[in-house]
Structures are given as C-alpha cells and as structure tokens.
Amino acid sequence: MEKPRKKLLAGAMVLASLAALGSYTLLSSPKGTNITLASTTSTENSGLLGYLLPIFKGDSGIGVRVVAVGTGQAMRMAMKGDADVVLVHHRPSEELFVEEGYGVERISVMHNDFIIVGPASDPAGIKGVTDVAAALGRIRSSRAAFVSRGDDSGTHKRELSLWATLGFQPGDDDRDWYRESGSGQGATLNVASEMDAYCLSDRASWVTFGNKRGLELLVEGDPLLLNPYSVILVNPQKYPHIKAPEGQQFIDWLVSERGQQLIAAFRVEGQQLFFPDALDPTEE
C-alpha cells in the first residue's frame, strides 16, 4: 500500500507548510519605527503620499503607514487614538479637533482646489461659470443629476456648505436628481460618469481619475473652491501611546523648505496638483 502513504505524506507536508506560513504571519511584527497617518483619499490616490513618504523615510528612517479614508472618518479614527497624525481638509472640524484636545495644533501644509465636473452635454449650462454658487443654482433649478459623496468627507462637507450659500439643503424632494453615493471620490466619479451627472471633486482626484468617459471639468476658479490641507499631531497627553516625536518630525519635515519644495514639484501628467502653504507666500 504505497500510494495512500504517499498521499498522506503529501497531505502532512502541505499542512505543515501551511501551518508554518500561518505562524509566520502571526509572529511577524512591523520592523523599525512606523507612524500611522490618517489621511484623505485625494492625497493617497493622487500618488502624492506615495511620492513623498519614501523620501521622508530616506531622510528620517521613519516609515509612515497611511490609512486613506474621508476627512470625517480620519478624525474619528484619530479621536479613538488609532492614528498618530492626521492630514485632512476641513477647517471647521480641524479647529474643533484641536479645541477638544484631540489634536496638538493645526498646521497648514498645502492647498489645491475643488472643481465641478459634469457631462460634456452640460444640461444645466454651467460650463465656464466662475461663480460656483450660480453654477450650483443652475444645476438645482434644472434638476440635472448631481452625485454627492454623502460620506462625511471633507469634500462632502464642503459641498453641503456650498449648497448652504444658496440657502438650500438637499432633502427628500430632491431624490430624483440629487444622489448620494456614500463612498470615496473615485467611486463617486465612477457613478457620475455612469449617470452623466455633475459632481464636486478635488482637482487631484479628478486629474488622476482614470475613468472620465464623458465627464468634463466645467467650473473652477471661484475662491470659495479653495481646498486647504492641514496636518495635526494627535495629542499625546490624551493618548500616551501616540508616537509624538516621530509624528512631530514628520510634520516638521512636511512644512520644511524641503518638504514644501517636494510638494510643489509633484506633477501628474505635467500638472501641479498641490500648492505648498507653509513657506512665506511672498517667496514662491
């Protein structure tokens, strides 16, 4: 009876190797110093962090692990002590975050801008409108399809505050044209491109988005569309396990001349996506 024994042996070997694999996974722990950065999808998906972080690691030896979620979720994550640093873009919540003692200090890093994209056919006729409130007003009055993030992200909060300048709050009567995707920027752009709908996006996510189909950039340039990003160290007095020195080192590096120049030098398809804010603005 040689055959069954062989099978048995093979089976045992597979089990053993699987078990080894398993125990390896259970035992392996991250090496070196790592900090956790809760950030937004725009900084991650555009490739900015993928470009900056290896350089920072080379400079400092500190690895940065990025959890890319919406601004709202990033801050809630930090409020539970699950991130060392947050890089987000919604000033009122950032200020509240610091005020409530979760963050040490809000530091401006960079900005880009929001834009409105929509179908090339442009049923609401907003192409080239520079007043964002007017453009949104036209979308609303024509009841052209509009996709909202609906996920409590920085972009979602901004969208709601832009509607609020018109005294408008999307409600049950608007279901036929105002849709909430409840997901990230890219997923929302996917929905918009499928539904020929308008949507608000940050420029970085739009430029790096690969499924534009019939969508076009229609509205840009209103000062109300400025999108500033800040970095905040989570308060080590609130959570002693926060890696404050390393986190601070990362923040200092981001706003240093080197960090700021690197941000300014980052290009996607030849386009600058983020504009440094921490250096003296007169220099540029």
Partner 1 sequence: MNEFSNAFRTAAHLLVEMDPGLLEVVLLSLRVSLSAVILAAVFALPLGAFVALTPFPGRRGVVILMNAMMSLPPVVVGLVIYLLLSRTGPLGTTGLLFTPTAMIIAQCVLVFPIIAALTRQTVFDLHEEYDEYLRSVGAGTRQKIATLLWDGRARLLTAILAGFGRAIAEVGAVIIVGGNILHSTRVMTTTIALETSKGDLGMALGLGIILVLIAVAVNTAVVTIGGGANQRTV
Given a contact cutoff of 8 angstroms between Cβ atoms, the answer to whether 71 and 153 are in contact is yes
- What is the chain's Cα-based Rg? 23
Q: What is the DSSP string of 48-73?
A: HHHHHHHHHHHHH--EEEEEE--HHH
Q: Minimum distance between the CB of residue 191 and partner 1, rounded to whole angstroms?
A: 11
In the complex with partner 1, the residue whose CB is nearer, 190 or 260, is: 190
33 binds partner 1 (CB under 8 A): no
Give least dist CB 167 to partner 1, A: 33
Q: How far is the CB of 240 from partner 1 (least distance, A)?
A: 10
| # chain residues binding partner 1, by CB under 8 A | 42
Told to check if 195 binds partner 1 by CB under 8 A, we report no
- Among residues 166, 120, 173, 116, which one has the least CA distance to residue 146? 116
The two structure tokens encoding residue 225: 């569309």
Q: Residue 124, Cβ neighbours under 10 Å: how many?
A: 25
Under the binding rule (CB under 8 A), the answer on residue 25 touching partner 1 is: yes
Q: List beta partners, residue 178.
A: 146
Binds partner 1 by CB under 8 A, chosen from 70, 103, 137, 184: 184
User: From the list 33, 60, 67, 217, which residue makes contact with partner 1 (rule: CB under 8 A)?
Assistant: 67
Residue from the set 1, 2, 5, 28 that interacts with partner 1 by CB under 8 A: 28
Sequence-separated (6 or more) residues with CB below 8 Å from residue 261: 276
Contact assessment for residue 145 and residue 195, using Cβ atoms and an 8 Å cutoff:
yes
Q: Which residues bind partner 1 (CB under 8 A)?
A: 3-4, 7, 10-11, 14, 18-19, 21-22, 24-26, 28-30, 36, 41, 45, 50, 65-68, 80-82, 183-187, 189-190, 193, 208-212, 239, 241
